[in-house]
Structure 1
Amino acid sequence: MNSREILESFEGRMREFIDGENFKKCIQCGICGGSCPFGFYTDFTPRKIITATRAEIVNEVIESNAPWLCTSCNLCTSRCPSKIPITDALIPVLRELAMNYSHPPDELGQALTNIHRMGNSFGESNKKRTKWSEGIGFPVKVLKKGEHVEYLFIVDDFGSFDLRGQEITKAIAKLFRILGIDFGILGEKEKSIGDHVRLAGEFGLFEEIAKSNINEFKNYSFEKIITMDPHAFNSLKNEYPKFNFSKDVIHYTQLIDERLNEIKKILHPLNYTVTYHDPCYLGRKNGIYDAPRRIIESIPGIKFVEMYRNRENSFCCGGGGGGIWYDSYIKKYVKVRPAEERVLEASKTGANVLLVTCPIDAIMFEDAIKVTGLEGKLKVMDISELLLESIGKGV
């Protein structure tokens, strides 16, 4: 396919998205490139990508590192004065074209193949989805068809199969148990929710995943879906309704925040100085900033300090949009990964604990702490783990 045909394909796909044609309104201000975690390393910032469309050289963009050096953090989109849907349309469309006409990172291809074949990005048997619940000390309800619970707990891939993610899943489930929350999981019937698939430009696979999951959900009775992964939360809340899905979806911190008066009664002092990282898809994408902070501030003895970049200006961990799948590809182009930059920023606050509410953040930051020599100085904890420790001090 020649450059003109690729441009026409790009423009045609962009027209299919809400506000997609806004890319033609780009005023070349450069805010996007200045906001981007990879702005210094990418061959084409969003501004330059749009310049390339005007010069009819989109083919050069899809052959470059630009489609893949994007964390889908949504910072450029949130700041764009022309309201161009960079994160949800521009970059995924380029990635779709790159997968069709160029060569995507090998690790990305493997993750997508695993999801298509096995229902999860790890390529594991879905029978292992409940492994996190082993040794938890109480039975975790795996729903049978027609069975009712108040909350369907969607764990997603990293909470199910990654060892660090499993620790966080256990902590959240224990909090649910302590609060008497009626919840259940799908076990081996759960499949990847697919947010990274969508952001990677595999729109057809994402639609297939979403429709399959929605059909599976119909086999059970529940009031709300509760998630631990902000990416799963985002897709279920904002993308699945496009396929006639209408259930309420919440992140676990929202539920804990609602029950804070109950949990405060069993909390005991901890001697930590903590800072909190706003996940891109909990904070900037979905506006949930205050619930995690109220939880942190409810724990006695805790000193809470903010990082310079917080709330809507939070700096990405680098794992979103499939980035966690092809970290080795990113390392070829980047001297300091976003996660490394972020843990150094956290350390400068004087905090000895970096709090997160996303399993991918925990995974990325713990690796970054090793690389930056901060082991023993900065510890990564999910808010659920901090709460459990505070509760345990009184046991």
Structure 2
Amino acid sequence: QLTTKAMAKILHILGVDFAILGPEESSDGDSQRLAGERGLFEMLAEKNGKAFGKYEFNEIITSDPHSYNAIKNEYPKLGINYPVQHFTEFVAARIEEIKPKLKDNGEVRVTYHDPCYLGRANGVYDAPRTILEAIPGVEFVEMSHSRSNSLCCGGGGGGMWLDGFQWEKAHVRLSEWRIKEAVDVNADILAVSCPYEPPRFEDAAKMVEGASRLVVKDIAELLAESLEVDK
């Protein structure tokens, strides 16, 4: 909800005419598809397609790379075609409009985790960084694995429910590995752009030495916190 509220604040300040489906919105089905439930995925895609079809709009904006990937690359295979952008793409293209409205909340060292389905699957690397680098007071630093070489948070492909498998095969959770990399670059904030990541990284931070002060926060929240509403 925090990310959704932050997105709404940013869109409002940009003067965007937008709406949210609310209870009409179903799961995008991407996790179900990746877990082998193809039939369930198709049912959910069809349900969402019907919901989209009830309204007139120019494009869909989502904060979830899994939804973005499903609507962009998988739904068209079922004849469901709608233009879609990840929220970071939409905002980065309008960053010059936003810059005059940004205030400095103090210096903070920020690193960014590239989500698998935003980065490697769809090639969106620059947009999130464009936003972070525009926020006054942010010192942006890269972790040792970034962009196309980024690590998975461990939540994709059904991994949100398969931590036991990760322990059995790798003896470490990917989320903890990633948190260690954020600690290694002395980050104050680990910025994310996927809803799978905050719960995974916040939990992992409890297990990693030196990570107690690390804050996990969506890029939309970071940007919204710096926006002057009255300008």
Q: Same fold (TM over 0.5)?
A: yes
Q: Deviations over 1:274-316 (max 9, x none)?
A: 1111110001100000011111111122111111110000000
**Which residue number corresponds to residue 219 of structure 2?**
383
Partner of 2:124: 288
Alignment of 1:1-395 (within 5 A): 166-269=1-104, 270-328=106-164, 330-391=166-227
TM-score normalized with structure 1 length: 0.56
Change (3 A) 1:388 1:224: same
Deviation at 1:377, TM superposition (A): 2.3
Deviations along 1:114-156, one digit per CA (max 9) or x if unpaired, are: xxxxxxxxxxxxxxxxxxxxxxxxxxxxxxxxxxxxxxxxxxx
Q: Aligned to 1:377, what secondary structure does the other structure show?
A: coil
Q: What is the CA distance between 1:325 and its match in structure 2?
A: 2.5
Question: Which sections of structure 1, spanning at least 5 residues, go unmatched?
Answer: 1-165
Task: Give percent identity, aligned residues only.
Answer: 51
C-alpha separation in 1, matches of 2:168 and 2:4: 32
1:210 Cα deviation from its structure 2 partner: 1.2
Is contact 2:28-2:70 (8 Å) kept?
A: yes
**Code of the aligned partner of 2:61:** I
Query: In structure 2, what is the Cα distance between the partners aligned to 1:389 and 1:321?
Result: 32
Cα contact 1:267–1:394 (8 A) shared by 2? no
- How far apart are the structure 2 equivalents of 1:337 and 1:378? 18
CA distance in 1, matches of 2:209, 2:78: 46
- Structure 2 CA distance for aligned equivalents of residues 375 and 393 of structure 1: 33
Which of the two has higher C-alpha Rg? 1
Is the contact made by 2:31 and 2:158 (CA closer than 8 Å) also made in structure 1? Answer: yes
Contact 2:205 2:212 in 1 (8 A): no
Q: Deviations over 1:242-280 (max 9, x none)?
A: 011221100011111111111100112231011111110
SS of 1:265's equivalent in the other structure is: helix
Kindly state the Cα deviation for residue 328 of structure 1 after the two structures are TM-superposed.
4.6
The 1:394–1:216 alpha-carbon spacing in structure 2 relative to 1, beyond 3 Å, is closer
What amino acid is the match of 1:262?
Answer: E
Q: Do the aligned partners of 1:197 and 1:322 also contact (CA within 8 Å) in 2?
A: yes
Cα distance in 2 for residues equivalent to 1:337 and 1:392: 39
Shift of 1:239: 0.2
Q: Which has the higher relative contact order, 1 or 2, with Cα contacts under 8 A spaced 6 or more apart? A: 2
For residues 190-224 of structure 1, the C-alpha deviation after alignment (integer angstroms, 9 at most, x for no partner) is 11110001100111111121122212211111110
Output the aligned Cα RMSD.
Answer: 1.8
- Equivalent pair of 1:268/1:393 in contact (CA under 8 Å): no
TM-score if structure 2 supplies the norm length? Answer: 0.93
Is the partner of 1:381 in helix, strand or coil? strand
In the aligned structure 2, how far is the partner of 1:351 from the partner of 1:182?
36
**3-state SS of 1:184 partner:** coil
Aligned length, in residue pairs: 230
For 1:377 and 1:238, how far apart are their aligned partners in 2? 38
Question: C-alpha distance in 2, partners of 1:360/1:222?
Answer: 27
